[in-house]
A and B are shown apart, each in its own frame.
Chain A
């Protein structure tokens, strides 16, 4: 009984962490699916979210979850602008070029944050940070539950946007066939900007709900989350948005179970090994239907 409770507890923790990974991975997968860009700056977008929550908290003493309302629209604009300046000139360039351009963007963002905020770790303390909720034998942390709720809202919102709205249909059309979408009158360049803005919004949301739970440093936290986002999207299939949700939850569970039952010091390695295995054995992702080899 005791063993069973620990396993359920671990699964619950894994799913809650995995939800954040899913949110980050969905953005990366959306950007790849529509724009064919592997975004090396994605983890740094998460860090931008973390630091925007910090700045808003320090300047306006606003609760981090309320700062979502300010940070998300601003992040969307930032995403639009960055796409216009850096990625839209490269729309017909080989995939290698956009990868390197986002890598350059990542270095610029990391080091700018480093110059502004310094290298010491930062976190945001909320008064209810240690509050927990008991569900029978398992204990869940309140901030992780809030994070889970935010993730659900954001992902359902994205789902409704992509399936119900005219703009969402244009996004999916662009992802399926850019030339075809242009032929029926869709401005695919505008769609690219929109999608990059959305990717930024998802990453910033993830950063804001994470900052009460961990310490962030500009140049280290970014690459860590970029790697996690790659792992998540490859598990789910690159460009497969709903697969990324499964990939995120899976990574969270694998990390927590691996850390408690195998070895905590290799926590980051489990995801990477899974990533390599999927890339080599099933490059279409665990949930993909297509059999096209990459």
Chain B
């Protein structure tokens, strides 16, 4: 089995999905976006071990870049996406340069503050962002004759996005950079002794994570086509992204995707019962995971499989 078998199966199911269940496209887009955001978060949070609770800032940045460049500057969406990713990487670089001197929980606290400040800017700088009332995307240029407001187009874009993110993470699993990130996560001093520059590795992880999240933010912006700073920059979205990855399993290839499947489906199932209280399920699941399976669903499963394999190999 090649390391890409899982991804190939995922892609095949993804391509066939709209033909089988065309009524669930919006749900599927939400699921793909959360799977990819959580996977992108996991580059920094799981592989490099720096938990961020501010990733909504990157979602907002991506979404606002495409909205503003379409409505104010009449710029083509593909340029807007690239600019958004560039801005996100620049923001991650500046943000990380300032805050990576802080360790563990202190870094997490600083990410909340940075994201909140961006939210306040999005609400108050009306000349730029349309302020608290939000901003409409009413027209977009059509790349290769594709109508970006068509749900099916958005679905395939989201699918491509997820495949790209997971492909990058599969690269980390066996690649040099992946090993460097894990070394930094486990022990920065030892990593440094092995010739790794921990700050540079963390910064690169943060920039990759931020840029990939902003790419999803751009798709999300087109999907919503109406952006409100209260929704898109707010702490709950950051928390949702982080918890999806942690519940699924930090530092695993498929963990964040499995977390997204579990959480998006249960949110959908309980929608009528809980209405606005839909984050209740996140709270319950994260407590269960932290108390009983600290590696997350996928991490616990992998751990068990490895142990069983090892036990079998010693027996024979």
Interface centre among B276, B283, B285 (most CB of A within 10 A): B283
A90-B291, A100-B286, A227-B116 as given contacts; A280 in contact with B101, CB under 8 Å: yes
B50 to chain A, nearest CB (A): 10
Residue of A nearest to B235 (CB): A223
A107-B283, A280-B98 as given contacts; A86 in contact with B291, CB under 8 Å: yes
Q: Is the CB of A219 within 8 A of B276?
A: yes
Bound-complex Cα distance A294 to B290 (A): 24
A86-B287, A86-B291, A95-B105 as given contacts; A111 in contact with B277, CB under 8 Å: yes
Interface centre among B276, B277, B285 (most CB of A within 10 A): B277
A93-B294, A280-B98 as given contacts; A38 in contact with B109, CB under 8 Å: yes
Bound-complex Cα distance A276 to B102 (A): 11
Residue of A nearest to B287 (CB): A104
Q: Is the CB of B284 within 8 A of A99?
A: no
A90: chain B residues at CB < 8 Å are: 290-291
Q: For window 86-118 of chain A, which residues contact chain B by CB distance below 8 Å?
A: 86, 89-90, 93-97, 99-101, 103-108, 110-112, 114-115
Bound-complex Cα distance A65 to B108 (A): 36
B285: chain A residues at CB < 8 Å are: 104
Bound-complex Cα distance A115 to B281 (A): 13
Bound-complex Cα distance A219 to B276 (A): 10
A283-B106, A294-B106 as given contacts; A97 in contact with B283, CB under 8 Å: no
Whether a CB of chain B sits under 8 angstroms from the CB of A119 is yes
One of A175-183, A184-192, A266-274 at the interface = A266-274
Q: Is the CB of A272 within 8 A of B104?
A: no
Interface centre among B106, B113, B282, B286 (most CB of A within 10 A): B113
* Set B116, B284, B287: member contacting A268, Cβ < 8 A: B116
Query: B-side binding surface: helix, strand, loop or mixed?
Result: helix
Q: Is the CB of A275 within 8 A of B113?
A: yes
Residue of B nearest to A231 (CB): B113
Whether a CB of chain B sits under 8 angstroms from the CB of A265 is yes
Count how many chain B residues have C-beta atoms less than 8 Å from C-beta atoms of the other chain.
Answer: 40
* Set A110, A111, A223, A269: member contacting B274, Cβ < 8 A: A111
Whether a CB of chain A sits under 8 angstroms from the CB of B99 is yes
A100-B246, A100-B290 as given contacts; A111 in contact with B104, CB under 8 Å: no
A17 to chain B, nearest CB (A): 19
B189: chain A residues at CB < 8 Å are: none
Whether a CB of chain A sits under 8 angstroms from the CB of B94 is no
A225: chain B residues at CB < 8 Å are: none
Bound-complex Cα distance A160 to B284 (A): 38
A21 to chain B, nearest CB (A): 16
Whether a CB of chain B sits under 8 angstroms from the CB of A155 is no
Q: Is the CB of B280 within 8 A of A279?
A: no
List 17 A-B pairs, Cβ < 8 Å: A90-B291, A95-B105, A97-B290, A103-B283, A104-B282, A104-B283, A104-B284, A104-B285, A104-B286, A108-B287, A112-B277, A114-B276, A115-B280, A230-B112, A268-B120, A279-B109, A280-B102
Taking A93-B294, A99-B108, A107-B282 as known contacts, 4 extra A-B pairs with beta carbons closer than 8 A to each other, sorted by chain A number, are A104-B290, A107-B286, A111-B278, A219-B276
List chain A positions with a Cβ less than 8 A from chain B: 38, 86, 89-90, 93-97, 99-101, 103-108, 110-112, 114-115, 119, 219, 223, 227, 230, 234, 263, 265-266, 268-269, 272-273, 275-276, 279-280, 283, 293-294
